[in-house]
Amino acid sequence: MTIATVSLEQLWEEKEENLLLCQSYIEEAASKAVDLIIFPEMTLTGFSTHIDFTAEEERHSKTIQSFQELAQTFKIAILFGVVVKDNLKALNKSIFLDSDGSILADYAKIHPFSFSGEDNYFNPGQRISTFQFQGLNIGLSICYDLRFPELYSALAKKSDIIINIANWPQKRVQHWKTLLQARAIENQTYIIGVNRTGVDGNALKYEESSNIFNANGDTVTFEQSGNMKIHNIDKAWTQKFKSNFSTVQDRQESLYREII
């Protein structure tokens, strides 16, 4: 499968302008026969807690509809982030669209980032999300979720790939890189991390740090085009690797539950 990761330089709370930026990357990716293009968390707004502005009614979301039209037009699968209303608060979600624009999966961030006050505005998601796309099983996660290995252990039971879309600041970017690699090694699966670049409305800086790690924790090679990287991944590679060196079968899950 050919996957494009876009380290989008998000404009603060500028939905229309960010959508145009996304469209330009989608057009380029489609011209290179990419199967799936992935954008960072809260794709069209950046990480904002201004939910009165950012949150949309999910059933009538202009953001979702716009990406559906782009998927249909360019015949490419798209993963993006969006904020949707949830009672008095909101949900921080990712949406996976097939190349015909249909929603294959969605996921609401289970772990709001309380350090930044995200939990004051966003409700936690209540389920993990795994699904199949082009013969590969995929699991979804968002940003701060990366710090919770239990989630990734659960996702890995049914996933060949686990994707994390994020707005992870530069000042903690070494944590981001280390945790992505660790999740790949400990679960022996592909881990994809897609982070933004630039400066947000809170003056937080972000650096280009999107990456794909394989089951051995190695960076998957890519073709670079601006802030977009194009990778090729192969389920058979993981199967061959695990046939020679597998660790996941040695987990003692009943004991771990007792410890918790």
Give pLDDT, residue 154. Answer: 95
The answer to whether position 174 is within a domain reads yes
The answer to whether position 123 is within a domain reads yes
The answer to whether position 260 is within a domain reads no
What contacts 86, CB < 8 A, 6 or more positions away? 108, 122, 123
First to last CA, the chain: 38
Give pLDDT, residue 195. Answer: 98
Tell me if 18 sits within 8 A of 45, measured CB to CB: yes
d(C-alpha 162, C-alpha 255), whole Å: 25
Residues of the chain with pLDDT under 70: 260
Give pLDDT, residue 170. Answer: 98
Give pLDDT, residue 3. Answer: 98
DSSP 101: S
Give pLDDT, residue 151. Answer: 97
The answer to whether position 33 is within a domain reads yes
pTM of the model: 0.97
Q: pLDDT digits over 217-237, tens only?
A: 999 999 999 999 999 999 999
- Domain of 151: which CATH number? 3.60.110.10
**Residues paired with 36 in a beta bridge:** 3, 77
The answer to whether position 247 is within a domain reads no
CA 259 to each of CA 110, 146, 255: distance values in angstroms, whole numbers, following the listed order:
22, 21, 6
d(C-alpha 175, C-alpha 40), whole Å: 17
Give pLDDT, residue 256. Answer: 84
The answer to whether position 48 is within a domain reads yes
Count of domains forming the chain: 1
Q: What domain range includes position 150?
A: 2-242
Neighbours of 53 (CB within 10 A): 11
- Tell me the H-state helices in 195-234: none
Give pLDDT, residue 260. Answer: 60
The answer to whether position 122 is within a domain reads yes
The answer to whether position 258 is within a domain reads no
Annotate 156-176 with DSSP letters as a single string: HTT-SEEEEEE---GGGHHHH
Tell me if 188 sits within 8 A of 251, measured CB to CB: no
DSSP 109: -
d(C-alpha 260, C-alpha 250), whole Å: 18
